[in-house]
A and B are shown apart, each in its own frame.
Chain A
Amino acid sequence: MASTAATRAAAGASKVVKPIFSRDLDEAKRRVRELYRAWYREIPSTVALFQLDINVRTGRDKVREMFDKNKHVNDPRVIDMLVIKGKMELQETIHVWKQKTHIMRFFNESQEPRPKDFLSKFYSGHDP
């Protein structure tokens, strides 16, 4: 009884999980930086290739915004998963498997911002 409790405590203290790509946080952050570099260099040719109506600066700010949204993540596996998803997006953008509309979806232009304070929610009908 005491031995099983001890082993459970020891197991709960430090869980070792199988990593996706990187073994620690530093390696995961390195992957993030590599992905950021690739996206940063890709933006000018994206804007030219898809004939987007935005500046290169706007595009790069949007890339920075998407990276900053996940700035708070600390788990290497979650970071790896996000990097994988970012790489998939990058591949689709480079090979022009996407179209202009898919890229412009990042900019959320046609979506109205959701109401945050009570009165706006009241006027729009209390949609939670």
Chain B
Amino acid sequence: MAARVLQHCVRTLRLSSGPLALRAAVVPAAPLHRALSFYSADRRTRCVNRFPSLDVLCRQYGHLPPLTLESIEERVLYVLKLYDKINPEKLQATSHFMKDLGLDSLDQVEIIMAMEDEFGFEIPDGEAEKLMTPDEIVQYIADKKDIYE
């Protein structure tokens, strides 16, 4: 995946303008060699002196893997199993916190806070008090993060 990102960056760099001598050593992929050879003749003579290092033009951002409904549900259930007031055997995706698992409203607040820490965004209290089953939590997070199938 990193190779593909690098390819893309270098391809855009090629199309704009860039020092080929630097990049030719780095790039491994076959299609890019064709592109290199196509552009190399005119570019090398023109641009190698004017732009000594265009490494700054190619930004490489890191990103988390994309969320899916299954991955959200997996993470939610994992966090709930780690919580010590919940019995992991009795936990289902549809088990109600108050009725099935016998938790308190303050326990539910703690659970929502753990979800906030896990997924990295704030859940306001007006909406948090309505989330009573793991399914509802998964749906809420999918709504907020715009994930649907």
The answer on a CB contact under 8 Å between B125 and A67 is no
The answer on a CB contact under 8 Å between A30 and B113 is no
The answer on a CB contact under 8 Å between B125 and A36 is no
What is the distance, in angstroms, from B8's C-beta to the closest C-beta of chain A? 41
* Binary flags per residue of B49-63, CB closer than 8 Å to A gives 1, else 0: 000000000000000
Contacts of B125 in A (CB 8 A): 30, 33-34, 37
The answer on a CB contact under 8 Å between A67 and B105 is no
Chain A minimum-CB-distance residue to B107: A64
Chain A minimum-CB-distance residue to B112: A37
The answer on a CB contact under 8 Å between B106 and A36 is yes
Q: Interface extent on A, as a size class? A: 10 to 19
What is the distance, in angstroms, from A83's C-beta to the closest C-beta of chain B? 13
Any A CB within 8 A of the CB of B129: yes
Whole-angstrom CA separation of A30 from B109 in the bound complex: 11
The contact of A40 among B105, B110, B128, B129, by CB within 8 Å, is B110
Chain A minimum-CB-distance residue to B110: A40
Chain B minimum-CB-distance residue to A64: B106
Contacts of B105 in A (CB 8 A): 29, 33
The answer on a CB contact under 8 Å between A41 and B109 is no
* Binary flags per residue of B96-118, CB closer than 8 Å to A gives 1, else 0: 00000000011001100100000
Chain B minimum-CB-distance residue to A26: B129
What is the distance, in angstroms, from B106's C-beta to the closest C-beta of chain A? 6
Whole-angstrom CA separation of A41 from B129 in the bound complex: 18
A-B contact pairs, 23 of them (CB 8 A): A29-B105, A30-B125, A30-B126, A30-B129, A33-B105, A33-B106, A33-B109, A33-B125, A33-B128, A33-B129, A34-B125, A36-B106, A36-B109, A37-B109, A37-B113, A37-B125, A40-B109, A40-B110, A40-B113, A41-B113, A64-B106, A67-B106, A68-B106
> Which residues from chain B sit less than 8 Å from chain A, CB to CB?
105-106, 109-110, 113, 125-126, 128-129
> Which residues from chain A sit less than 8 Å from chain B, CB to CB?
29-30, 33-34, 36-37, 40-41, 64, 67-68
Known A33-B109, A37-B109, A40-B113; further 7 A-B contacts with Cβ < 8 A: A29-B105, A30-B126, A33-B125, A33-B129, A37-B113, A37-B125, A40-B110
Q: Which 9 pairs of residues, A with B, have the shortest CB-CB distance?
A: A33-B109, A33-B125, A36-B109, A36-B106, A34-B125, A30-B125, A37-B109, A67-B106, A37-B113
